[in-house]
Amino acid sequence: MYNSFISVVHVLHYPHEVAQLPAYLTSVYSVLAENFSDFEVILVNNHTGENPDSGIAALPADLKQHVYLLNLSSKVDRNHAILAGLDRANGDYTVIFEPEFARQPGIIVDLFEKTREHFDIVYLRARNRKTRLAVRWLYTLFYAILKRYSSLRIDDKAHDTRIISRRALNSLLKLRENLRYMKAIYSIVGYNTTFIETDEPLIRNGEESFSEKFRTSLVAITSFTTFLNTLLLWIFLVSLCFLIYVAVDALKVKFTGYDVFGNAQTALSGWTYLVMLISIFFAVTCLNLYLMSIYLSNIYHEIKKRPLYIIESIKRF
């Protein structure tokens, strides 16, 4: 048995997870009680619409005394819900444990044993990602942008399940960003990090809409990369090159009667070129304004300093 205090954080996002909670707690408790001298299980009810009290109340008293339930008053972003649990974790090590591993509670011990090799963060890495073919290229593009336009070390096959040492968690909790992308936060925190490979494929919950995934991707790209700045620069350079081409072509036709490709042309008043230029630069201007509006929106959300979540009640069983 390890003489360490372990905190296990589990977030309930959907009603069906509440129904599975007794089995989840029983399997996790058996492993924790056998391997650790002290432990706690922090449940975050992300406003699922279901009351988990009855399921927990029916469990043995020895188990219930280690359980904390945080009920959020309204549904918040997945990352903010995880943060609610991390804020209240008191252990020497904290484990974020996903429901898909409930049948493999021994993974908690595997993660902890890996920290004995002087690692502060150990996560589970899937051997493959299961996604629909229609959106697979979007994931590829998203992670390519993150790796190319940031210094972040992000594993595109990383599960949310991981163990974090006390000192790494203390550093993570200092990053109080309203717009959060946890994989980027872990990378910013640093410390010695490694992974354990698992056969459990990485599957995004089907109940998470495409718009939610898109918003998360947009937050990550705008908050943690220089991609849009670089894109803005390239838009400017391309529009500048096009402007030079149009100007040179118009002057060459006017004075020689031939365009830049050597084709004979008749010099007109320039109405066509004028319309093209106005149209193109108007489109470019609109795109630039859109890109800048994303950054302004991010700044706006940060300076408001709204709470990331609100606790409705705290219960200890």
Q: Residue 119 is part of a domain; what is its CATH number?
A: 3.90.550.10
Residue 68 is assigned to a structural domain of this protein: yes
Q: Do 312 and 299 fall within a single domain?
A: no
In a domain, 214, yes or no: no
Enumerate residue ranges in the chain where pLDDT < 70.
Answer: 131-135, 178-180, 203-212, 224, 254, 265-273, 275-276, 279, 297, 300-301, 304-313, 315-317
**Residue 151 and residue 43 in one domain:** yes
* Tokens representing residue 132 in the block: 């629909």
Structure tokens at 247: 């100007």
**Residue 307, pLDDT score:** 58
Statement to judge: residues 174 and 31 lie in one domain: yes
CB 43 within 8 A of CB 68: yes
Q: What is the pLDDT of residue 94?
A: 92
Q: Is residue 18 part of a domain?
A: yes
Residues 236 and 299 in one domain: yes
Find all residues with CB under 8 Å of 107, minimum gap 6, and list them.
97, 101, 124, 161, 196, 198
For residue 220, is it within any domain?
no
Structural domains of the chain, count: 2
pLDDT of the residue at 289:
75
Residue 192 covered by a domain: yes
Whole-prediction pTM: 0.73
Domain that holds residue 138: 2-209+307-316
Whether residue 43 sits in one domain with residue 171:
yes
**How confident is the model at residue 271, as a pLDDT?**
58
Looking at the structure, tell me whether residues 312 and 287 fall in a common domain: no
- The reply to whether 76 falls in a domain is yes
Residues 30 and 78 in one domain: yes
Separation CA 227–CA 30 (nearest Å): 47
Q: Are residues 126 and 85 in the same domain?
A: yes
Which pLDDT does position 133 carry in this prediction?
Answer: 67
Which amino acid would we find at residue 14? Y
Q: Do residues 199 and 260 share a domain? A: no
Indicate if 87 and 145 belong to the same structural domain: yes
Q: Check whether residue 64 and residue 178 sit in a common domain.
A: yes
Position 163 scores a pLDDT of: 92
For residues 72 and 81, what is the distance between their CA atoms, to the nearest angstrom?
A: 8
Helix or strand run (H / E) with residue 158: strand 158-165
Asked whether residue 198 is assigned to any structural domain, the reply reads yes
CA dist., res. 208 & res. 78, Å (int): 10
Please tell me whether residues 236 and 100 are part of one structural domain.
Answer: no
CA–CA separation, 9 and 89 (whole Å)? 8
